[in-house]
């Protein structure tokens, strides 16, 4: 299988990572030790740069896990309110505990449920977001994007993580790739869709496990 991230290159890139603070460094170490999914250090660096440039006031995240990235957003954007969504019972209790233990957790609106259901609930209100991070079910990125678009300000950013699916997107042979053939199919369709859309400024990046950075040009 194609390795998107060579282990030696990963170690080299990780060695240059500078955490926001010691609280976040400790949370990353804990998550990595427990095998909890969280954003890679390269992805974190790109997100921090985008957040600094955009300075969003309302951030929406799909896929909370143990809350690392939501807390990162809260620390990087001290005036922003973050809404994050997850449905996994094995994750939500840990995320709640982390939000309660960080002072920034008071600005995190944690919604538990299926992402599309929660997005529909949000659409019934008048909330608009200027920064969205999608890191949830990979076969649903098109559905997530379409729903998030209705919730976005006219100049919003949507960032989608893990678009390379550990390299299976371009090298889909072998047992593991075949197990994820549905995700591969729908991710390819999603990337074709956003790149073919008018009014979108799309940048695809191969760092980490791949990022799509999408800006609305309305």
pLDDT tens for each residue of 148-189? 999 999 999 999 999 999 888 887 666 766 777 899 999 999
| In this structure, CATH architecture of domain 7-216 | 3-Layer(aba) Sandwich (3.40)
- Helix, coil or strand: residue 152: strand
Rounded Cα distance between 97 and 95, Å, is 5
- Characterize the bridge pairing of strands 108-112 and 81-86: parallel
Strands 211-216 and 129-134: unpaired
Q: What percent of the chain has pLDDT over 70?
A: 94
pLDDT tens profile 54-69: 999 999 999 999 999 9
Q: Cβ(191)–Cβ(210) under 8 Å?
A: no
23-47 confidence digits (pLDDT tens): 999 999 999 999 999 999 999 999 9
13-46: string of b/e by CB count within 10 Å (b at 16+)? Answer: beeeeebeeebbeebbeebeeeebebbbbbbbbb
Helices (H), the chain: 7-15, 22-33, 41-54, 68-76, 89-101, 115-123, 141-150, 175-179, 181-196
């Amino acid at each position: 299988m194609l390795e998107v991230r060579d282990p030696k290159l990963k170690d080299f890139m990780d060695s240059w990572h500078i955490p926001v603070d010691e609280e976040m460094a400790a949370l990353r170490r804990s998550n990595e030790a427990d095998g909890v999914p969280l954003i890679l250090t390269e992805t974190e660096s790109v997100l921090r740069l985008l957040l600094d440039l955009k300075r969003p006031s309302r951030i929406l995240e799909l896929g909370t896990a143990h809350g690392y990235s939501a807390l990162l957003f809260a620390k990087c954007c001290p005036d922003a309110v973050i809404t994050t969504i997850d449905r996994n019972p094995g994750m939500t209790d840990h995320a709640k505990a982390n939000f309660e233990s960080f002072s920034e957790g008071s600005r995190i609106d944690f919604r538990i449920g299926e992402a599309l259901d929660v997005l529909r609930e949000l659409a019934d209100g008048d909330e608009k977001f200027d920064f969205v991070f999608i890191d949830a079910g990979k076969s649903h990125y098109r559905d997530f994007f379409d729903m998030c678009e209705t919730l976005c300000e006219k100049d919003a950013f949507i960032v989608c993580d893990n678009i390379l699916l550990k390299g299976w997107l371009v090298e889909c042979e072998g047992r593991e790739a075949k197990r994820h053939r549905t995700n591969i199919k729908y991710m390819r369709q999603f990337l074709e869709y956003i790149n073919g859309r008018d009014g979108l400024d799309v940048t695809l990046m191969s760092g980490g496990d791949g990022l799509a950075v999408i800006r609305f040009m309305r």
